[in-house]
Amino acid sequence: MTIPHTELSNALLQRQTENERTLLGMAVCGREPKKGHIMEHLCRDMFIDKTNIEMFDVILDQYQKHGTDRLNADNLINDYQAKVYKNGVFEALLSLAYEYITDVNCDYYIKATQESWLKRMAESCSNLEDFQALEKLKKQYELPNRATLSKLNDVDAINKLGDDYDLIINTKPINTGYTSIDSIIGNFQGGDLFILAAATGMGKTCLMLNMALSIAKQGKKVLIFSLEMNKEQLLNRVISSEIGINSDKYRNGKLTEGEAATYFDYAYSEQFNGLDINICTEYNISTARIKNIVLASNADIVFIDYLGLISGGNKTNSYERVSEISRELKLLAMEAKKPFIVLHQLNRANADRKDKRPLLSDLRDSGKIEQDADIIGFVFRPAYYADTEKPQNQNEMQLIIAKNRHGQSGVIARLNYNSNTQKVTEIKSKYSWAYGT
């Protein structure tokens, strides 16, 4: 029995449609065990979008005939040409592959889709028999409530350790370019999500670019998603930093003749052009699009500036939206086996505190960011708060490691920040404790 959904709000309707597409993508592009699990707990009436219903009909028919053996976009298109080459179903099937991220959290989407369906069904019940019939349907598709247990020392787990260790010893570590930071976090590791957060004006983009340039000089392939600045702006910052001139001089057309010659000599130099740094400046980009680009690239490390500008997630609630995006980025980092350094903004909670150094609670729309991130580093410049802080070094930039899954947290790496040239350099000193000192 299909229940009309005309009274659903636009926001709920959009959210339900997105959940449906996510599930269909998992059913077509996910792993073999997950595909069957998904199909066994869904039915046609759970879907409300017309195109999604037509896709589900095709997918279900294929699953009932062949199990999961032929359950992929290519086979569906070839086997059901008459059905898919109409009403936008062909394009929708192809787009599932581009939108698919992971099937790890499939039960979440199954439950969300089932709950929406059950709510619509319950609203149509008018007597006891209707409710009893609904209860039977609910049990038919109910997810099993069981714990997933396995032996700690089983052979598969030990073999996985061996494979992971081979990967570790055959992969050169990615140094940040700063000895003090490396000594705290132990270099950038594949699969890690590093949140680099700061208030506006602290220099987090500057530190990101300095790290990216240093990593490229190690011969690594760097991929940067810049959602706030265009390619030319980033290029000017990098060149100015490398040759030691004020980056504003280029923007304002005030380079001297000698500076202009030095500027473009370096820009066209073999040294600079030999660096493997790729920039994506697509605006309104989603995590699904980021995934497609990352997996298609040969990048060793990924930088994203910044998390709050990534589109998608729950658009009706900023807290949940950012939390969902954070989780998807962590899952993508693990799937791609690349370190992700993702910039993020702080809220203004520290404005009224005497000690302006940021805390984990200052993360804007934090949600599950603190939980998902392997490392959280705060960029902080004491001189920015000259009224309350009296730093000995006016150019000091601190990277406060507030969370570190792999080592010490609550410690500071001290750097030197030149706001004119946008250059961040090492201060040769041992790190210190961030709080309570």
Cα Dmax for the chain: 88
Quote the tokens at residue 46.
């759970």
Looking at the chain, the number of H-run helices and the number of E-run strands are: 18, 10
Give residue 436's pLDDT: 47
Would you state the pLDDT for residue 4? Answer: 47
CA dihedral of residues 286, 52, 96, 79 (deg, nearest 10): -170
Assign 227 to helix, strand or coil.
Answer: coil
Say what the pLDDT of residue 47 is.
Answer: 93
Contact between 313 and 324 (Cβ < 8 Å): yes
**Which region among 75-89, 288-302, 350-364 has the lowest average model confidence (pLDDT)?**
350-364
Q: Is pLDDT of 368 > 50? A: yes
In the structure, what pLDDT confidence band is assigned to residue 209 with cuts at 50, 70 and 90? very high
The per-residue pLDDT for 223 is: 94
Which of 285, 319, 321, 378 is closest to 98 using CA atoms? 285
- Spatial separation of the C-alpha atoms in residues 229 and 226, rounded to whole Å: 6
Q: What is the pLDDT of residue 169?
A: 64
Mean pLDDT of 9-26: 82
Look at residue 341 and tell me whether its pLDDT is greater than 60: yes
Question: Which of the four pLDDT bands, split at 50, 70 and 90, describes residue 6?
Answer: very low
- Residue 143 pLDDT > 90, yes or no? no
Q: What is the pLDDT of residue 349?
A: 67
pLDDT at position 44: 92
pLDDT at 387: 60
Assess whether pLDDT exceeds 80 at residue 148: no
Q: What is the CA radius of gyration of the chain?
A: 26
* Sequence ranges of the chain with CATH classification 1.10.860.10: 10-141
Residues in the chain: 437
Nearest to 300 by CA among 181, 177, 175: 175
Q: Stretch 382-395: mean pLDDT, rounded?
A: 71
Helix (H) or strand (E) holding 342: strand 340-345
Strands 411-418 and 432-433: antiparallel
Q: Mean per-residue pLDDT for 133-156?
A: 74
Q: pLDDT exceeding 70 applies to what percent of the chain?
A: 86
| 10-141: CATH architecture | Orthogonal Bundle (1.10)
Rounded to whole angstroms, the Cα distance separating 237 from 241 reads: 6
Nearest to 242 by CA among 201, 209, 276, 277: 209
Q: What is the mean pLDDT of residues 221-241?
A: 89
> pTM, whole model, 2 decimals?
0.64
The burial of 293, by beta-carbon neighbours within 10 Å (0-12 exposed, 13-18 middle, 19 or more buried), is given as middle
Residues 6+ apart with CB under 8 A from 412: 398, 399, 400, 401, 431, 432, 433, 434
Q: Is the confidence at residue 3, as pLDDT, over 70?
A: no
Q: For the chain, give the mean pLDDT.
A: 83
* pLDDT on residue 24: 92
Kindly report the number of other CB atoms within 10 A of residue 128's CB atom.
8
Residue 365 contacts residue 220 (beta carbons within 8 Å): no
Q: How far apart are CA 144 and CA 148, in angstroms?
A: 11
More confident: 9 or 342: 342
Beta strand 222-226 with 193-198 is: unpaired
What is the arithmetic mean of pLDDT over 45-73? 90
Banded pLDDT at 162 (limits 50, 70, 90): confident
- Out of 141-145, 215-219, 309-313, the most confident range is 215-219
- pLDDT band, residue 303 (cuts 50/70/90): very high
For residues 92, 95, 100 and 106, what is the CA-based torsion angle, rounded to 10 degrees? 0
Handedness of CA 233, 282, 195, 180 (dihedral sign): negative
Which positions ≥6 away from 92 have C-beta within 8 Å?
Answer: 51, 52, 55
**Per-residue model confidence (pLDDT) at position 2:** 44
Average pLDDT over every residue of 400-406: 89
Q: How much of the chain is helix, strand and coil, in % rounded to 5? A: 50, 15, 35
Q: State the first-to-last Cα distance of the chain, in angstroms, to the nearest integer.
A: 66
Check residue 363 and give its pLDDT.
80
The confidence score (pLDDT) of residue 435 equals 53
pLDDT on residue 389 = 52
Residue scoring higher pLDDT (178 or 308): 178
φ and ψ at residue 409, rounded to 5 degrees: -130, 165
Please report the pLDDT score of residue 306 as a whole number.
Answer: 81
Q: In the structure, what pLDDT confidence band is assigned to residue 390 with cuts at 50, 70 and 90?
A: low
| Nearest by Cα to 118 from 186, 219, 183, 41 | 41
Delimiting residues of CATH 3.40.50.300 domain(s) in the chain? 172-433
Confidence of residue 339 (pLDDT cuts 50, 70, 90): very high
Exposed, middle or buried by CB within 10 Å (0-12, 13-18, 19+), for 136? exposed
Assess contact for 212 and 251: CB atoms under 8 A: no
- Buried b vs exposed e over 172-185: b needs ≥16 C-beta within 10 Å? eebbbbbebbbebb
Q: In this predicted structure, what is the pLDDT of residue 367?
A: 60
Topology (CATH level 3) of domain 172-433: Rossmann fold (3.40.50)
pLDDT-derived band at 299, boundaries 50, 70, 90: very high
